[in-house]
Amino acid sequence: MTISASTACNATTMIENTCALGAGCYWGTEKYVKKDFQKRFPDSIKSAKVGFMSPDPNAMKDPSYRQVCSGQSGHVEVLLVELNDPDKHFQELMKFFYMFHDPTTLNRQGNDAGTQYASYVFTQGEEQARIASSVTSELQDLVDTKKITAYEGDKVSTKIGAANTFYEAHDEHQEYLSKNPNGYCNHRFRFKEWPELN
């Protein structure tokens, strides 16, 4: 299925309402965004589905979970997020994204290693890309100035690129941690409030 998104407009910006976030195993990404982000910002998430997306628009079509897990398909495990009000919540979502995973461990989250576990933001449109880049740059400044010390490394390796075709994972992988509360999850809060840079 190919991403299609409606837009939200205000007087000065146009932000697409759909993006895809890769932060390691997508079960934890889904739990933190659907449950914990919405605790902070009620009704912010219109929908969210786990699946796969590749930075390469010519990557393998319709990969299986096994193919993605092998690291050979070129896809990243992602959560496709649709926001109700992207003008209000996209920047907040970007900041929250960096709170529950480690963006300094290239292609790895905890014991999960491989390009399929990359820290990746797949954006739609120039404004999403600008905001994602701005938040990521600010994060690097916060790491450089030791305002954030909870990561393993000191270089943010998150990649930001244009969204491509999204392949939805099977039903048993959707809301996996809601169905299996003791299921595997290597995500945790590194910090809970975004620090002031100055």
Dist CA 139 CA 171 (whole Å) = 34
Asked if pLDDT for residue 162 goes beyond 50, the answer is: yes
Evaluate whether 117 touches 107 at the Cβ level (below 8 Å): yes
Domain regions of the chain by residue span = 15-179
Evaluate whether 135 touches 197 at the Cβ level (below 8 Å): no
What 3-state DSSP class applies to 109? strand
What's the pLDDT tens digit per position in 115-146?
A: 999 999 999 999 999 999 999 999 999 999 99
**Which DSSP letter does residue 74 get?**
-
3 state SS for 121-157: EEECHHHHHHHHHHHHHHHHHHHHCCCCCCCCCCCCC
Per DSSP, what are the bridge partners of residue 19?
81
Pairing of strands 18-23, 119-123: antiparallel
Q: Which CATH class is domain 15-179?
A: alpha beta
What's the pLDDT tens digit per position in 6-51?
A: 333 333 457 999 999 999 999 999 999 999 999 999 999 999 999 9
- What is each CA distance from 183 to 9, 31, 55, 176, in whole angstroms? 39, 11, 28, 8
- What is each CA distance from 13 to 9, 16, 41, 88, 135, in whole angstroms? 6, 10, 21, 11, 17
Q: Containing H/E element for 113?
A: strand 112-113
- Residue 197: pLDDT band with limits 50, 70, 90: confident
Cite the active site residues.
25
